[in-house]
Amino acid sequence: MLIHQYNNATGAYIGSRLADPDPLNQERWLLPAFSTDMPLPARKRDEWLFFIDGAWVIKPDFRGQMLYRTENGEAAEILIPGISIEDAGLTATPRPSEMHVWEGDAWALDAVAVAAKAKADALAEFEVLMSEARTQNAGKSDAYAADLLTSLEIDMFNAWAAYQMALVSVVNGADFPAAKEWPAKPDPVTIAAQVDAESVAEASKQNPT
């Protein structure tokens, strides 16, 4: 006769073995404490058997599986049978990213986190563009004030200054960063051509033919 042993505290199935014959009665079998000859019911991969109140009961079993905490996505595991992943606050699905939160029964993008990251990324881009603009005009303010710059240098200085103001206007926009559209950088070739054209025009005025 096949008997099945179970944990005396939880009723969790431990193992099965052949029963020993009763030495006092060869027609009987010994049935130790915390064991039963009741046949084991079929169970699935994530299930375990428990002998409770004289009957086998099927409960969840997620031992040996990689699980994740729904509160923060950290890896976790269940060490004993009988605990569902829902009751343990776990899931078998890894967290897609730090911007995902657990909603109901699945990971979902956190709108607040997505918006915060978009703004942080846009501000970082702003700082790079602004730093470049400041570098272009670095050390030229005094020379500009003293009228020591050439016409081309003055126009380039003004163009980069206007570019900086345009960058700030984008950041201060009501729809930033959703409606972010950075201004075009000053084009030295275009500005030089304009300066040359203005110089030619001025020369024509002073020396009419």
Q: pLDDT tens track of the chain, all 209 residues?
A: 899 999 999 999 999 999 998 888 888 899 999 999 999 999 999 999 999 999 999 999 999 999 999 999 999 999 999 999 999 999 999 999 999 999 989 999 999 999 999 999 999 999 999 999 999 999 999 999 999 999 999 999 999 999 999 999 999 999 999 889 999 999 999 999 998 888 777 767 776 65
Q: d(Cα 182, Cα 171) in Å, to the nearest integer? A: 9
Q: Where are the domains of the chain?
A: 2-60, 67-109, 112-206
- Residue 156, phi-psi category: left (phi > 0), alpha (psi -120 to 50), beta (remainder): alpha
Please give the radius of gyration of the chain, using alpha carbons only, rounded to the nearest integer: 39
Contact in structure between 164 and 127 (CB atoms under 8 Å): no
Cα distances (angstroms) measured from residue 188 to each of 14, 22, 153, 155, 157: 81, 104, 10, 9, 11
- Residue 59 tokens read as 């409960």
